[in-house]
Amino acid sequence: MKSLDDSLRELSHALASAAPPDRVDRGVAQAIGRAARRRAPADGGRMFDRWLLWPVALAASILAISAIVRQVPPSALAPTPDPDAAQSRAFLPLASDEEIGRSADAVVVATRLPRVALAQMGLPVDPARADQSVEAELLVRPDGAVLAFRFVN
């Protein structure tokens, strides 16, 4: 009985001298040529031009926007803040403007608020830092009603 290795070796030697006829090679080459012609773009390679159009349009848009932004003076983009106006606008109102205006005897009280209180006011709170507190100033009427608050850095 022959071993499998011997049988495979004999088959390998028998097939080494076998080659397909020339007509088979020509037929395969013709089939490859026909398939390549079918896949060629009908518009003569303009598909590449259309593909290139999108990056060029994007670059032109970026160039136009950057030119427009450079023409705008920096003061129009970020005006210098007025410190007095910033202080007066720093409070976030909890009561109406009329009520705050009527309370001429309101005082500012410094305090520390838990972050949970910020969530109750509708502000976003990071749950990982919910146990920490935040320094704030409250605008309080003499009867104890809080009219507005602001955060202190």
Name the residue among 137, 153, 152 with its Cα closest to residue 94.
137
Average pLDDT over residues 11-35: 84
* Band of pLDDT at residue 74, cut at 50, 70 and 90: low
* Band of pLDDT at residue 70, cut at 50, 70 and 90: confident
Average pLDDT over residues 32-41: 78
Prediction pTM value: 0.39
Question: Residue 70: how many CA atoms within 13 Å on its side-chain side?
Answer: 6
Is position 118 within any domain?
yes
Cα–Cα distances (Å) from 69 to 30, 42, 61, 80, in that order, read 59, 43, 12, 18
pLDDT of residue 30: 92
* Band of pLDDT at residue 49, cut at 50, 70 and 90: low
Q: Which domain holds residue 36?
A: 4-70
The domain total for the chain is 2
Q: Per the structure block, which two tokens stand in for 129?
A: 């830092």
Is position 78 within any domain?
no
